[in-house]
Structure 1
């Protein structure tokens, strides 16, 4: 190992692009400082990642480890986007079977640090046996970790929360006033997989708790200026170093669009013809599976609003093919609305002057991008951490939630239209527009991001372990 102070950091994200992309962004920021990265994933996923900037390609080594074949997984499925929601657990089971090849890679490469995601709860023990320190890098915010609580609760040692209703109120370990909690419909949609698990698969919360308990440090994709009280709480709950890595703001022109520049040319041409700040951009990430009822109400709500819109409507693999837009919808909205059914460069769209609002599923990555570019946020949650993210933004008056039924999550076309107009046009929505513009300075601050990376690297360098020969 060179004695020049440079690090070799291995990274092993979960098999979802909402996880792999933030890991890759952090990898690039670390590599820019001259450190070496081993980025571990499956062959198909690595081939689908954005191309590296040429000046970093020699510092980031992509390590391809094939995913074991599982009868219940569709052929060639290597990421959550390749499977239906109910099949994600089989992806986790296949991922768990990577223990042996990962161990062999770590033994042969001896990285100074290993950054890992919430799914491979077994990995920090393997790394510890090889004298490799670990960072649990969570691509969510500190509020999420604060709400879900200590390892004893997450792993079920203490049965604090056993039924869905328990997740609809702030837990007793939060020492400050907050409205951050799930709505009942949000918990019901994830309770089985995230909280309970089954005879085939371990629950997400158990994986999370075991990962945190066994890691050396917790690294969070957020910044302490945005949520200081939550960072303090996470530190108190886990009694180990908690490091913000910054918000990892995206750069719009980083050459990372691969072969999709033709798509952007067409999209930009359409956006260029719209008035400044007039367009609502709609995207719900790669995980959400809209029902026919939800799709219909969103579409008719867009129509009712009278606003120009650009809707990225992609179906994930395995979702129902018979879900359709309302009859005549595209014809009636022709000229002022665009439905885009293939890949779209979200940061480029959000940065375009014609975009004024963002109707989003409240995934943390999308929220960061929306705030970074100062766009009014209209929130419609579907899965996972999205409900907690939405509450954080509601509390800070940074985003407006579409009103819904608390138990089944249903909403109407009228509530969609009214929410869009409120955030985009109405005087009552001025607070949201002003607040997000102010916060965009923090979220897009690249100098601050650089300081976070320097601070992280300083810690990693001072706490690396001597290699065992």
Structure 2
């Protein structure tokens, strides 16, 4: 589509770094195709995002909106990781109050498209009023959206036949193919909260249903190689084009003000002293705050495994001294892609694999089930009721995938998944097809 016009695309993610970072990765990939991006967030969040790569500085602009003051929100709290869980509904209220300033920007700049998140249920009508097409870009996979409800109307009107957490521990009746993917009871209890009214005055499920109904297109951070049946089902359930944009692995040129190389030299020196494929890399991102008990059992489990590990952990708990020499507890930013690519790293212990999986958030349990079925990882066993795990269960799972013969199949399958995740050409094709769709859609609708 060399003759297709350049697009101007606005992007408006929810105020969580687990959302903003994938949106920023997608923005960079769209900009690389020659299109203009207006990336909209609040001033403090923009300051904390990675810098725009120099080669894309003419294509991407940050648009800073002032987050309205909100009772019950601490000063300078502009993202979910600035807050305890019970305060996040008040952040949603402040975010909802951005609609006037966002509408003003959209009216003045008239982008061709706006790509937005699930929280701004009020956004699709505003975009339509100004003749702007909208994409709901989901950072969770298609299978999670299929689990949420059978249609936009059902989500908006609260017409879900499931009335208690136990109902979410089996696949929904509207899934027409055989699957064992479902929530554990402790996960279902947390997931059920999204159907309940919160202090923002709107349920999360109503928000989701409204953006699914009002947007022109649904995009998902996923690929057909992992969940083709779910992607196809999502389109059937919600009657919209559903486009996977690939897995959006972080690009290597993430700027850290020149500190990255010095940090990497220190880490690489330690990794280089370890045996091939023996190190466990542990990371749960910046959004997760483990309880003291969860942290202790995980730490003791790592120690009990007897295996070397590198743990990217933001809060110190005195564990560093105890494991000196065999394990590293790293309390600042770490170059994740470089660490995972090192030959000494044999397993990744994270929310949902590959190899060792300990899910905590909304969709991670479902993804962990999918990966377990594909034999690319095992879940650390947990109590079905409350999700508790022990140091023994942590240690046994780690030793199985790194040391034991019966873990060989997981190691081999995980290599295949790593190749898929690292396939830049494949993921680039997904973005290319996504952008091509947006261009064709505009051209058709302009006629």
**Kept in 2: contact 1:13–1:41 (CA 8 A):** yes
Q: 1:64 maps to what in 2?
A: 64
Paired position in structure 2 for 1:178: 179
Match of 2:346 in 1: 356
Q: Residues 85 and 287 of structure 1 are in contact (CA less than 8 Å); yes or no, is this contact kept in structure 2?
A: no
Distance 1:55 1:152 in 2: 44
The answer for the alignment partner of 2:388 in structure 1 is 410
The question of whether the paired residues in 1 share the 8 Å contact of 2:92 and 2:200 is answered with no
Q: Counterpart in 2 of 1:244?
A: 244
Partner of 2:281, secondary structure, is: strand
Instruction: Figure out how many residues of one structure are paired with residues of the other and give that number.
Output: 442
Q: Which residue, 422, 425, 431 being the options, matches 1:447?
A: 425
Task: For 2:165 and 2:254, locate their aligned partners in 1 and report how far apart those are by CA, in whole Å.
Answer: 44
Given that residues 131 and 465 in structure 1 are in contact (C-alpha distance below 8 angstroms), is that contact kept between their aligned partners in structure 2? no
1:314-356 Cα deviation digits (max 9, x unpaired): 24xxxxxxx945xxx5444210101112222222222222211
Tell me what 1:17 maps to.
Answer: 17
Answering whether residue 162 of structure 2 is matched by residue 161 of structure 1, we say yes
**Cα displacement (A) at 1:139:** 1.1
Rate the CA distance shift 1:335–1:219 in 2: closer, same or farther, 3 A.
same
1:391 equivalent in structure 2: 369
Counterpart of 1:337 (choices 327, 350, 375) is: 327
Partner residue of 1:142? Answer: 142
Residue matched to 2:41: 41
Q: Distance in 1 between matches of 2:158 and 2:24?
A: 34
Q: How much does 1:422 deviate?
A: 0.7
Deviations 1:425-446 (CA, angstroms, capped at 9, x unpaired): 2111111111111122322221
Distance verdict in 2 for CA 1:196–1:269, change over 3 Å: same
Whether the 8 Å CA contact 2:235–2:241 is kept in 1: the answer is yes
Equivalent residue runs for 1:103-252 within 5 Å: 103-149=103-149, 150-192=151-193, 194-252=194-252
d(CA) in 2 for partners of 1:307 and 1:49? 34
Task: Please say if residues 42 and 64 of structure 1, whose CA atoms lie closer than 8 Å, have aligned partners that are also in contact.
Answer: yes
Q: How many Å separate the matches in 2 of 1:89 and 1:352? A: 41
Change (3 A) 1:6 1:70: same
Runs of 4+ in structure 1 deviating by more than 4 angstroms, as ranges, are 465-468
- Structure 1's unaligned 5+ residue stretches are 316-322, 368-375
TM-score by structure 1 length?
A: 0.90
Given that 1:39 and 1:61 are in contact with CA atoms closer than 8 Å, whether structure 2 keeps it comes out as yes
In structure 2, distance between residues paired with 1:247 and 1:454: 13
Higher mean alpha-carbon deviation, 340-349 vs 385-394, is at 340-349
TM-score by length of 2: 0.94
C-alpha root-mean-square deviation of aligned residues, in Å?
1.9
Paired residue for 1:96? 96
Structure 1 residue 94 displacement after superposition: 0.7
Q: 1:313 aligned to 2:313?
A: yes
Change (3 A) 1:44 1:199: closer
